[in-house]
Amino acid sequence: MHPAHFTAENPSTAPVEPDSVVGGRPSSPTRSTDNAPRTYDVIIAGCGPTGAMLAAELRLHDVRVLVVEKETEPPSAVRIVGLHIRSLELMAMRGLLERILPHGRRRPASAYFAAIPKPAPTGLDPRYAYLLGIPQPVIERLLEVHAVELGAQVRRGRAVAAVEQDGDWVTVELADGERLRSRFLVGCDGGRSTVRKLLGVGFPGEPARTESLMGEMAVGVPPEEIAVRVAEIRETHQRFWLRPAGVGVYSVLVPAAGVSDRAEPPTLDDFKRQLRAVAGTDFGVHSPRWLSRFGDAMRLADSYRVGRVLLAGDAAHIHPPIGGQGLNLGVQDAVNLGWKLAAQVRGWAPEALLDTYQAERRPVAEDVLDNTRAQAQLLSTEPGAQAVRRLLIELMDFDEVNLHLLQKITAIGIRYDFGDGPDLLGRRLPDIDVKHGHLYGLLHRGRGLLLDRTERLTVGGWSDRVDHLADSTAALDAPGVLLRPDGHVAWIGDDQRDLDHHLTRWFGRPVH
Ligand SMILES: Cc1cc2nc3c(=O)[nH]c(=O)nc-3n(C[C@H](O)[C@H](O)[C@H](O)COP(=O)(O)OP(=O)(O)OC[C@H]3O[C@@H](n4cnc5c(N)ncnc54)[C@H](O)[C@@H]3O)c2cc1C
């Protein structure tokens, strides 16, 4: 385990040249001699949404980050994904939501569970109660720009090929033979993760039994004709739809010819062939917006951490995109891990803080895999599954059931186990009103926050890590709460000694 101090050798304290990037110390590497490998605090493999978000979170704490990305260019034409409520809230917490919104399309937060046509439950905060459809390359690009603005370095066309670690360092060898060193390595390199394989971490679960093609394209047949044919086919085919997705554009889902090991997107001809096989016509599809392929494999990494190497996002968990949860889960992994890894690198992490990453996030992924399995069953055309679906449709008329399922899919129902305490302990705090604005506006810097309605508490020797808002008007049903940088409630109360104990638990020893 990394000792909680800085040494001359530790790059965290090594002087660096000023740079033009915004946001604290830039991520320049250090090199003690010409032949020595460049060293960083953290290397991230993969600049997908998880890797980019993690890089930005680490930069908020001045951690020197290098992201190595296998592809030379950012992806151009891949799928539209949906950002759910918790991810939208996280974006607001980091001041990113306003930047992202103009690039997406808001859809109502209805029909979110197994496409059951129910409206969203009542009582949600309208500022976040929608699904934001956004092209994945766009959200990836926005997150990468954010990370770079904060000082992260991204090197494209560089793939991690080998990893070694000892007690203090990880040595990363890239495919071109260059060697780099860092305190930690995080594999955010997707479902076929090289880092996970190099670590020998098991990835048990269910292999893909089926594969589907999904995309958006124009059609050459009148809408009425499509509607009739689609209704007939859906009687017997679970994995099929052809439905409007904007002016002149249809969303298409059709079974693939078989299960392949190909990572590349399918072609329009693949879609035409499969549409003809299933529907007897290809509906004259043309001018695709994006085309994608996915299988129904479900897998969860046995471990999220081996020594100084961690896994996040699809590298740690895969499942089919029913309910659109994968990217959301990865971004949320990144926000959970970022401040903990930063604390470790900066030297103030309490014992075992980093281990709470797996303890908290692996059960969340387990739950997502499980609800995805349940949704897959509910989408089946088998009579038994259809009967269960009808029953659930009835149950969802109860607002509590409807809310419970929405909380699952959108990740706003997560409660981490922080021990005994009021129901709010371990949950995320909504974006409540505080004096001069909203809570999330106070969390842009990724620090802890004491929200203090008593106006007599203090963060004392933790003020370098934790902010303090004394506000007797805050719309909060508790005298005081301590928020972690990921917005989860780590303490509730009004007793300073108890607060100090919890500050130590989450933020390490105070500075005197
Ligand atoms: C059809 C479809 C629809 C989907 N819809 C949704 C949705 O609506 N909502 C949602 O939340 N999710 C959705 N998903 C899932 C989502 O796309 C993934 O969960 C998400 O991309 C995972 O992000 P990631 O950063 O963890 O991994 P990835 O996006 O896979 O990124 C990994 C990155 O690592 C790079 N890399 C790989 N190997 C190396 C290496 N050795 N060295 C360096 N770099 C490497 C890759 O090039 C890539 O850029 C959908 C998926 C599919 C297939």
Q: pLDDT digit string (tens) for 180-233?
A: 999 999 999 999 999 999 999 999 999 999 899 999 999 999 999 999 999 888
Best residue among 71, 73, 81 to mutate for probing ligand 1's pocket (most ligand atoms within 8 Å of CB) is 81
- 433-507 folds as Glutaredoxin (3.40.30)
Q: Is the CB of 79 under 6 A from ligand 1?
A: yes
Closest ligand 1 atom, CA of 81?
8
pLDDT band at 290 (very low <50, low <70, confident <90, very high): confident
Q: What is the pTM of this model?
A: 0.91
Q: What pLDDT is stored for residue 21 in this prediction?
A: 32
- Nearest CA to 132 out of 158, 106, 170 is that of 106
Q: pLDDT digit string (tens) for 319-341?
A: 999 999 999 999 999 999 999 99
Q: Is the CB of 47 under 6 A from ligand 1?
A: yes
3-state SS, residue 332: helix
Give the mean pLDDT of the chain. 91
If DSSP states are collapsed to H, E and C, what string results for 434-468?
A: ECCEEHHHHCCCCCEEEEECCCCCCCHHHCCCEEE
Give distance in angstroms: CA of 35 to centre of ligand 1.
Answer: 35
Q: What pLDDT is stored for residue 262 in this prediction?
A: 60
Torsion angle of the four alpha carbons 281, 282, 284, 288, in this order, in degrees rounded to the nearest 10? 170
Give the class (CATH, top level) of 211-295.
alpha beta
Q: Is the CB of 136 under 6 A from ligand 1?
A: yes
Question: Which CATH superfamily does the domain covering 4-75+140-204+300-361 fall into?
Answer: FAD/NAD(P)-binding domain (3.50.50.60)
pLDDT band at 261 (very low <50, low <70, confident <90, very high): low
DSSP assigned state of 119: P
Q: Is the CB of 215 under 6 A from ligand 1?
A: no
For 501, the enclosing helix (H) or strand (E) is helix 496-507
- Nearest CA to 242 out of 208, 280, 297 is that of 280
- Burial of 63 by CB count in 10 Å (0-12 exposed, 13-18 middle, 19+ buried)? buried
- Domain residue limits, the chain: 4-75+140-204+300-361, 211-295, 433-507
pLDDT band at 75 (very low <50, low <70, confident <90, very high): confident
pLDDT band at 442 (very low <50, low <70, confident <90, very high): very high
Give distance in angstroms: CA of 74 to centre of ligand 1.
Answer: 12
Q: Is the CB of 190 under 6 A from ligand 1?
A: yes
Distance CA 90, CA 410 (A): 12
Give distance in angstroms: CA of 502 to centre of ligand 1.
Answer: 36
Average pLDDT over residues 15-36: 51
At a CB cut-off of 8 Å and minimum separation 6, what does 141 contact? 74
Q: pLDDT digit string (tens) for 90-141?
A: 999 999 999 999 999 999 888 889 989 899 998 999 999 999 999 999 999 9
Average pLDDT over residues 480-490: 98
Is pLDDT of 22 > 70? no
Q: Please report the DSSP string for 485-499 in residue order.
A: TTSBEEEE-S-HHHH
Q: pLDDT digit string (tens) for 41-67?
A: 999 999 999 999 999 999 999 999 999
pLDDT band at 24 (very low <50, low <70, confident <90, very high): very low
pLDDT band at 77 (very low <50, low <70, confident <90, very high): low
Q: Is the CB of 212 under 6 A from ligand 1?
A: no
Q: What pLDDT is stored for residue 260 in this prediction?
A: 72
3-state SS, residue 213: strand
Distance CA 264, CA 260 (A): 10
Q: What pLDDT is stored for residue 255 in this prediction?
A: 92
Choose between 209 and 68: higher pLDDT.
Answer: 68
